[in-house]
Amino acid sequence: MSTLEDPLARPDPPWTSERGLAPLLARWREDPRVVFEHLTPRREARERSFPDALHPNVARALRARGVSSLYAHQADAFERARLRSSGEGRASHVVVATPTASGKSLCYNLPVLDALSRAPETTALYLFPTKALARDQEVALRALLRESELGQGAITFDGDTPGDARRAARERASVVFTNPDMLHAGILPHHANWARFFSGLGFVVVDELHSYRGVFGSHLANLLRRLLRVARFYTGRSPTFVFASATIGNPEEHASRMLGEPVTLIDESGAPSGERHLLVVNPPVVNAELGVRASYTKTAVSFAAELIRAQVPTLVFGQSRNQIEVMLKYLRERVASDGVSPEAIQGYRSGYLPETRRRIEEGLRAGLVRAVVATNALELGIDIGALEAVVCAGYPGNVAALLQRFGRAGRRNAPSLALLVTSSMPLDQYVATHPDLVAGAPIEEARIDPDNVEILVQHLKCAAFELPFEAGERFGDLPEEATTDALDYLVSHQLVHASAGSDAKLRYHWSAESYPASHVSLRSASWDNFVVVDLETSQTIAEMDFRATHTMLHVQAIYQHDAEQYQVERLDFENHKAFVRKVVPDYYTTAMTYTRVSVTSEDDAAFVRGSLEADGVAVGLGEVAIVEKVVGYKKIKFNTHENVGYGDVRLPELAMHTSALWLTFSEATVLALAGALPASLTSDGASPRAARAAVVEAIDGIGNALHVVASVGLMCDPRDLGHVMGERLGEGELPQRGDADGAGFDPTLFVFDRVPGGVGLATRLFGDRDALLTRARSLIELCPCESGCPACIGAAGIEPDDPTRAPGPRPRPGLALRKKLAIALLARVGASASEPKAHARADGPRDGARGAS
Amino acid sequence: MASDLKRKLARLPAPHAAEPDAALTPRSAPPPPAASGSSDAATTIEDERRARIATLRALVRASEGEHAARRPSPRGAGAPRLPGAIVATASGPLHRVERSFGPDHRHGRVSVVEAASVSAASLAALALDATLQSVDPRRVLFLDTETTGLSGGTGTLPFLVGMGWFEGERLVLEQLLLRKPGEERPLLERLGERLGSASAIVTYNGKSFDWPLLRTRAVMNRVAVPPPRAHLDLLHCARRVFGPRLGQVRLVQMEEEVLGFVRHGDVDGAQIPALFWDFVRSEDESLLAPVLEHNVHDVVALAALVTALAERWEGTRPDHTPEDRLSVARIAYRYGDHPRALARARDAADAGGSEELTTRALVLGAKAAQKTEARSAEEAFLLEALAHAEGDATAAIRLSLAKLYEHRLRDLDRALEEVQLLEAIVGEEAMATRRARLERKRAARAAQRKSERS
């Protein structure tokens, strides 16, 4: 990247367009693509004077900054945390769940500064999900420490911390900023070296609590169990926890589950906010038959380009690394004619090296960068200065993530814009037709399962390594009996040894040679990153996680980086390196994956309500092995999105054991429906074989609908789930290829937890199976398409997971019947017709809202 | 809930982290019974354990060689097979083993007790650590531990602590054995006592391994173990003295190459953790006998290594290799002991080593001579080095000569001669500045002489 130039230094372009948001908003109100508008009025601050208990030095430091009062939630958080830590009364830990930019960090910094002022030996541990966030907050707290005349040190301890700074952190720092991975592998297993730090541990701050969901969240909960054990070893009590979270549906429950102790919620923000316009843009249907809509990527680019022309600082969020590179390229081309230099529009993603990212952040703060196209690297609270508009290309999968992205825009007093462009993806279309979902308070709940057996056992090993377990001890909130069961399991594998010590107490001691933390990764992608090396310069240009490598860095893949295209020439799988060379192709590539599922154990089985065994439709719940393999790739032409070729990929499979719900349709059911197909189908020249294929295809389509309604029902990110159609196979069994008619197997739909071991999503789906099937039928019935579209059962012949998919129908016989067949199948398994249109009211106008046109 | 967890645990595959054991499982071990119910899982594990212990025993016996024949069979009468005694302390039982070695004891070729009479100054110099100057070498504590792993951290146990110290003309050894986890207190308290009366500890890689581990155990068991007053880590000394010659500087290499001691039937260090855990589970003491022996060798080798290192520092003997002499010269130079550096460099150059080594020794000698302001010696070293030097080394030596003549001997003509010779090697351009300056100086000097004469 070349040096940043000041785009404003250029002469004004010849066009005299509107400046600022207001004229754009006025025009967009008339745009038929805008299906929803919502205005959140300006909110005044609710303030309180400094609490009496606040140490005068801290109060003075705030006053010197021009702060003479606190927002209500900041004062509340301070009081509660102070009470808990001073042991007065029976105060519990605190979770602060207020919107982005409401001054959450002061909620935890104040009690810490106050305690450091009163008891200088106090220490505090700050946990952030990413290194970048920790570094950001370190700078902020250091300034406050200095201004409060505190001599104690604050330091970031992560993988990048050099050796002497590490020693300083252990021996002298009062506040340590780190991430869960480092706490897990670098601090807790060596806690004796941190004896001074743990002996003073008064506070633990966990920011971005909502981001610890699913596997990562379940890991963190276990990590906190371990942290509590170590803290109690040194101080005999647990430190005060202050959690900070974006607004989610269940912050209090989530924090309590995370900690295993009661946590009090503070969620009424006292911070002011400027008025915010929320727009939902649904690109028009371009193929009614298939329900295919205009490219949401391009639509987002065109809206963003208008904002840039109107000189509104804009942040564009994409769904994937690939997509943001495409948008960056389009956006730069689009505004180049208006004299905006390419450097004024920057990409920002997690694959970028730290120095590149920092340069972009500085450019934004300095106003040299006018727009940033980002993945969720920016979603978590990195301060990048004042942005007036956020454009989200595609629904990020859950309301909390969307609101976090939207929260990046808006200054205290100026109006701001949050704009969502929905794709043709089912969940996006669900949001487009029910937009009040995103205008109201978030309803999604963060879910974790700290007792997921795989995760639990891994951390129990680490915990035993850290401190021997005493007989009868509980691991966090895990009951005594369960803790003992789990420890006995480790004893039976000779990983721990139970013996009575000098004091005759029975203890479980770690008794294996290896260092358990080094075998446990807290992130689901439990593998090392790959680096991307430019063959021409021999420079490392990016890093990529293990899983993404399979789809983005296979040989021949077009790898997009900073709007340049590179072709992967060699992938050194053993050494985790991909070698790329810059090319100028007229296409990009997208990987095709093949998924295979086999059942390892069945926990529960049922026949669906109303259906008889004769119908042969069974629902099962159990553990499955999922094997994913990238088998090839497609070449997609830029701009036209035509498919212009294929290639093979040879990479190892990715295997995962998890829990799943499955729905098996017996061969008899399939044949019965196939036999009942109208003659018109067979007159197309189709055989009974084709009729059967049509039924199987309809079942596949139901999988798509199930996936959508499952994620809505669970209020989870659709990416937390996976679905695939296959056969009910045992592990290692080969699929049977039936007779010439393709018959001979029972098509089975699997909806699975996309997390090793599962975090309980499949179990909840099984419990809710009747409603699930009914919702799926309703989704399909209420969808306006003719014969199936991506929003319901998926458009036939198009990969449902490809966000940049091309509208290229490849009709096959029986296609037209897919939707009817799917409804018939669901009717057969007892799904009742048309769910009451409880959520359809969103189509009607409401305050400040306009219905779909 | 709990039973649910138990059911899930039963279904989990065998956990990771048992891999060190896998290597010990005999290839001929019977495969786990196929298609057996889960109730057999415990039996299978027990079978595996027995098989593994049998393998370990075989290994132990093989490693003991001829001694194995006269040992009673394991699991014989309950008599403890390990030496030493279990003493009762206020904090619990402690297994102590004591031995001592007389004034004539040698580890290989090297005397052990002579380590008591080396000078503290030698130790400080060898370690490049001036704080060791105040150490009383007669009161050092040789320390080496055997542990349940090499990765450190709070879950790694030092289960055998070997300590050695001098009592008059004898080296006394005391080994403290942890017979099971949870009984560390008496061991740590005893270690604390010894540390309290020692002037320093002497270890091999103890700065990064043994000591941090013991300090961790002290914290974990809430026992106040005083930090050592000083710490001589022989690994770093050995690397500086013997590293250039031997490449690797593991303690066994030192024994074989420097002390002339070869261990017979020594236990493989990688098996020690597994031997300990199998001892804990089976209480079969014969498993640990070779580990105790291994640890005795380690501690005794520390004392012998002190003797061997100090001997090289304090003088040169005919059997000291040219490489070792040059290494000592380098250490002396770094430590600022320039006369010694000069002397050892001379010794190294005269030892009949390779031309390259001799050249490097002579160049180092010249540097040391420069520091001691022995001008003529510096010139002699450099001229001699020139005679041995080959290739690029020549240019560097001539440059040193040019500097010597110009700045210290103030012989501009000879400096210019060297410059002329250098120009032939490195080109005129590289020498242009130097030549110009020298010529300017020479002209100035001529002018001065002229004015003085007039």
Identify all chain B residues contacting A485, using CB atoms and an 8 Å cutoff: 2, 5-6, 9
pLDDT at B201: 97
Residue A655 forms contact with B (CB below 8 Å): no
The torsion angles phi and psi of A168, rounded to 5 degrees, stand at: -60, -40
Q: How far is A255 from chain B (nearest CA, A)?
A: 21
Cβ pair A564, A582 in contact under 8 A: yes
Q: Is the pLDDT of residue A442 over 80?
A: no
Q: How far is A518 from chain B (nearest CA, A)?
A: 10
pLDDT of A764-800, one tens digit each? 788 778 888 888 888 888 776 777 766 778 655 433 3
**CA nearest B14 in A: which residue?**
A493
Residue B90 forms contact with A (CB below 8 Å): no
Identify all chain A residues contacting B277, using CB atoms and an 8 Å cutoff: 494, 497, 511-512
Helix (H) or strand (E) holding B174: strand B170-177
| B17/A489 touch (CB, cutoff 8 Å), yes or no | no
Q: Is the pLDDT of residue A542 over 90?
A: no
Q: Is the pLDDT of residue A196 over 90?
A: yes
pLDDT of A72-99, one tens digit each? 999 999 999 999 988 776 788 999 998 8
Cβ pair A430, A712 in contact under 8 A: yes
ipTM of the prediction: 0.83
Q: Which residue has the higher pLDDT, B55 or A193?
A: A193
Residues B54-69: what's their mean pLDDT? Answer: 56
pLDDT at B42: 47
Helix (H) or strand (E) holding B165: strand B158-167
pLDDT at A739: 43
Total residues found in chain A within this entry: 853
Residue A502 has its nearest CB partner, among B8, B18, B91, at B91
pLDDT of A646-695, one tens digit each? 888 888 887 777 889 998 887 777 888 787 776 555 445 456 777 777 88
Q: Which H, E and C letters describe B260-314, residue by residue?
A: CCCCCCCCCHHHHHHHHHHHHHHCCHHHCHHHHHHHHHHHHHHHHHHHHHHHHHH
pLDDT at A634: 85
pLDDT at B77: 45
pLDDT of B378-423, one tens digit each? 999 999 999 999 888 899 999 999 999 999 999 999 999 999 999 9
Q: How many CB pairs under 8 A join A and B?
A: 134
pLDDT at B31: 38
pLDDT at A607: 67
pLDDT at A430: 75
| A465/B19 touch (CB, cutoff 8 Å), yes or no | no
For the CA atoms of A23, A29, A34, A39, what is the dihedral angle to 10 degrees? Answer: 90
Q: Which residue has the higher pLDDT, A219 or A292?
A: A219
Q: How far is B94 from chain A (nearest CA, A)?
A: 10
Residue B219 forms contact with A (CB below 8 Å): yes
The torsion angles phi and psi of A124, rounded to 5 degrees, stand at: -140, 140
Instruction: Report helix, strand or coil for A641.
Output: coil
pLDDT at A551: 79
What's the pTM value of the predicted model, to 2 decimals?
0.77
Residues 151-170 of B with CB under 8 A from A: 151-157
Residue A495 forms contact with B (CB below 8 Å): yes
pLDDT at B156: 94
pLDDT at A715: 61
Identify all chain B residues contacting A486, using CB atoms and an 8 Å cutoff: 5, 9
Confidence bin at A612 (pLDDT 50/70/90): very low
Residue A199 forms contact with B (CB below 8 Å): no
Residue A514 forms contact with B (CB below 8 Å): yes
Residues 152-191 of A with CB under 8 A from B: 189-191
Residues 701-740 of A with CB under 8 A from B: none
The torsion angles phi and psi of A331, rounded to 5 degrees, stand at: -65, -40
pLDDT at A219: 92
Q: Is the pLDDT of residue A810 over 50?
A: no
pLDDT at A799: 37
Closest CA to A389 of A415, A361, A366: A415
Residue A232 forms contact with B (CB below 8 Å): no
d(CA A384, CA A365): 6
Residues A166-195: what's their mean pLDDT? Answer: 93
Q: Is the pLDDT of residue B35 over 70?
A: no
Confidence bin at A55 (pLDDT 50/70/90): very high
Residues A181-208: what's their mean pLDDT? Answer: 95
Residue B11 forms contact with A (CB below 8 Å): yes
The residues, ordered by sequence, that sit 6+ positions from A672 with a Cβ below 8 Å of its Cβ are: none
- Average pLDDT of chain A to the nearest whole number: 80
pLDDT at A833: 62
pLDDT at B126: 96
Cβ pair B272, B62 in contact under 8 A: no
Identify all chain B residues contacting A195, using CB atoms and an 8 Å cutoff: 219
Residue B359 forms contact with A (CB below 8 Å): no
Q: Which range is least confidently modeled, A182-191, A453-462, A794-803, A835-844?
A: A835-844
The pairing of beta strand B231-233 with beta strand B200-203? parallel
pLDDT at A31: 92
pLDDT of B262-302, one tens digit each? 999 899 988 999 999 999 999 899 999 999 999 999 999 99
pLDDT at A601: 78
Give A622's strand partners. Answer: A602, A660
Residues A225-232: what's their mean pLDDT? Answer: 97
With vertex at residue B236, the alpha carbon angle to CA B232 and CA B240, rounded to the nearest 5 degrees, is 130
The torsion angles phi and psi of B412, rounded to 5 degrees, stand at: -65, -35
pLDDT at B63: 54
Residue B183 has its nearest CB partner, among A495, A502, A512, at A502
Q: Is the pLDDT of residue B73 over 60?
A: no
Identify all chain A residues contacting B148, using CB atoms and an 8 Å cutoff: 511, 513
Cβ pair B203, B233 in contact under 8 A: yes
pLDDT of A700-753, one tens digit each? 889 888 888 887 766 666 767 888 887 766 555 544 444 444 445 678 899 998
Confidence bin at A400 (pLDDT 50/70/90): confident
Residues A845-853: what's their mean pLDDT? Answer: 34
For the CA atoms of A632, A637, A641, A642, what is the dihedral angle to 10 degrees? Answer: -70
Q: How far is A725 from chain B (nearest CA, A)?
A: 26
Q: Is the pLDDT of residue A638 over 80?
A: no
pLDDT of A93-124, one tens digit each? 999 998 877 888 999 999 999 999 999 999 99
Residues A800-825: what's their mean pLDDT? Answer: 57
Residue A471 forms contact with B (CB below 8 Å): no
pLDDT of A232-266, one tens digit each? 999 999 999 999 998 888 899 999 999 999 999 99
Identify all chain B residues contacting A505, using CB atoms and an 8 Å cutoff: 182
pLDDT of A479-509, one tens digit each? 999 999 999 999 999 999 999 877 788 999 9
The torsion angles phi and psi of A128, rounded to 5 degrees, stand at: -130, 150
Residue A515 forms contact with B (CB below 8 Å): yes
- Average pLDDT of chain B to the nearest whole number: 87
Confidence bin at B38 (pLDDT 50/70/90): very low
**Structure tokens that stand for A98 in this block:** 């207020």
pLDDT at A637: 76
**CA nearest B220 in A: which residue?**
A192
